[in-house]
Structure 1
Amino acid sequence: MTINRRQALTRIIGISTAAAGVSLVGTSAFAATDDQGNFHLELGDKLKYVPLDPMATAKLAYETGGGCMHQVFHSLVTMLGNSSSADAAKFKTIPTALAGFGFAGVVGQGTICGNLNAAGMLINILDDINKQNSAVIGAAFRYYENTELPFSSPEFVSGIGSTDEKTALVGSSSTANSILCHSSISNWSKASGKTFSQKGERCYRLSASIAFHLVELLNRAYHGEDIAALPESKPSSDAQSCQSCHGVSDTMSSAASVKTDMECTTCHTGHFN
């Protein structure tokens, strides 16, 4: 009688556990797959990206709800699950509801914006796209800091399925000057004259805007563009100046070692103020 590799492994595991005097738990010897052959994402797994439609992804993000982090993460994972990716079926197994904690800067704490939290969460599970994954994250973060958001052109509003009437609920687009939710919303509040409690439509559109741009960046990386070389993907001149003293490996005199590419002067006013 001949047996295949899976049967052999099953017998070996069964003999070993029986000898140890414990019951056999139904898990597969193959990484990330249970004994029924179902995929479960594990630490270190990387899934294949394929280009997506930015507007279709933005529309899905706008329609999804559940907070900004969930909107962005769910929309991209769902689109990849319905794509031509070799790992489409694996994307479909990912429980995107796990991203629900990221709303309003992590359950209302006003820390990192959920849109960016989602970008990091997604890109961390993507197979390296022409060695550009880290650059895409950096470019997305710098874009969020320095761009007037949410998008408000008639084409974008129509594309995501919103209306001119709802544009009045947004008030004004604004520049965050930070990756932090509270800074982003505070600057929007100042520009629009609205309060945090009125942020609904603005944040729905912000998630759609980031989903749109994130797909654009991923698509460009997929097609071989050097995202790291883009001027807008680099820290600001102020941040680079700070890094010259507050380095990762070396510092100037007694300066603290710092690891960050985010805007510095949004919160830090310098040494002489």
Structure 2
Amino acid sequence: MTINRRQALTKIIGISTAAAGATLMGTSAFAATDEAGNYKLALKETLKYVPLDPMTAAKIAYETPGGCMHQIFHSLVTMLADSDSEDKAKFDSIPTALAGYGWAGIIGQGTVCGNINATGMLVNILGDINGQNGAVIGSLFRYYENTELPLSSPEFVAGIGSTAEKTTDEVVTSSVANSILCHSSISNWSKASGKTFAQKGERCKRLSASIAYHLVELLNRAYDGEDLSVLPEAKPSEEAQACQSCHGVDSTMGSAASVKADMECTTCHTGHFN
């Protein structure tokens, strides 16, 4: 029987570690492969982004089951696996089902929206995009907080494969989340539409499609060299910046607590004397 160099090394490492009483550590010499030589994404490893089509991303997200976090993550990872990226094969190895926990604010807890959660997980594994990765995150988060969503123009609805009837009957109206929390996002939509949480299906599918669309737009703009960090949309609101003047990261005003957050503050914190 003949074996190649990788197989030989794998066997040697396995034997030596077994002798040391640590058989399961036999793959440590291959930081990004398992014992069979299969690729595995390593901690802090990044993969190369290439421009994608926003509407295709939106349509895939809309059609993908498993909740909002899975919809976003699966849409972009799947497209990158089928792209011209030099890392397409590595993208293809990522099990997108791992994002399935993010529905309804992390398994129904109403905390950070799965769209936001997925954006962070995705951008975290993308290689440097002209130094704009952080600005992409900031811009997308502020967009989610301050924009009337989901997108419901006739062109967008047709592009994702939905219908005007679903807009009227199931979405009813778009709304502004004023927060990156699922709780605030759905509550504000419920108040505006008269629908309940249990009736959020079409609305949330479209929200995922809307976020996938804008996320790809931002990534493409960053790839093309645009400095997103200087845009107002990438920065905290004036209210949040005012809060940061006292609740700073390195210093505070008087007895004020030190806080690290760029999210909207006044959604939950309405003042010091309430």
How far apart are the structure 2 equivalents of 1:233 and 1:18? 52
Who is 1:117 aligned against? 117
Aligned 1:1-273 pairs, distance under 5 A: 6=6, 9=9, 13=13, 16-17=16-17, 20=20, 27=27, 29-168=29-168, 169-273=170-274
* Alignment size in residue pairs: 271
Moved more, 24-33 or 169-178: 24-33
How far apart are the structure 2 equivalents of 1:204 and 1:156? 13
How far apart are the structure 2 equivalents of 1:22 and 1:244? 52
Amino acid at match of 1:265: T
Q: Is the 8 A contact 2:40 2:93 kept in 1?
A: yes
Offset of residue 29 of structure 1 = 2.4
How far apart are the structure 2 equivalents of 1:247 and 1:20? 50
How far apart are the structure 2 equivalents of 1:98 and 1:191? 33
How far apart are the structure 1 equivalents of 2:43 and 2:65? 27
Amino acid at match of 2:195: K
Cα distance, 1:130–1:193 mapped onto 2, change above 3 Å: same
Q: Is the 8 A contact 1:74 1:96 kept in 2?
A: yes
How far apart are the structure 1 equivalents of 2:15 and 2:188? 64
SS at match of 1:121: helix
Offset of residue 19 of structure 1 = 5.3
Cα distance, 1:149–1:35 mapped onto 2, change above 3 Å: same
Cα distance, 1:147–1:21 mapped onto 2, change above 3 Å: closer
Q: Is the 8 A contact 1:26 1:34 kept in 2?
A: no
Q: Is the 8 A contact 1:246 1:252 kept in 2?
A: yes
Offset of residue 27 of structure 1 = 2.7
Deviation sequence 1:232-259 (CA, Å, 0-9, x none):
1100000000000000010001000000
SS at match of 2:236: coil
TM-score by length of 2: 0.93
Cα distance, 1:90–1:18 mapped onto 2, change above 3 Å: closer
Cα distance, 1:160–1:141 mapped onto 2, change above 3 Å: same
Offset of residue 42 of structure 1 = 1.9
Cα distance, 1:200–1:15 mapped onto 2, change above 3 Å: closer
Cα distance, 1:122–1:22 mapped onto 2, change above 3 Å: closer
How far apart are the structure 2 equivalents of 1:226 and 1:141? 17
Deviation sequence 1:51-100 (CA, Å, 0-9, x none):
00000010000000210000000000000000000010111111111111
Structure 2 residue runs of 5 or longer lacking an equivalent are: none
SS at match of 2:217: helix
Cα distance, 1:18–1:110 mapped onto 2, change above 3 Å: closer
Structure 1 residue runs of 5 or longer lacking an equivalent are: none
Offset of residue 204 of structure 1 = 0.3
Q: Name the Cα RMSD after superposition.
A: 2.0
Moved over 2 A (4+): 4-30, 34-37
Offset of residue 13 of structure 1 = 3.3
Amino acid at match of 1:252: M
Offset of residue 15 of structure 1 = 6.8
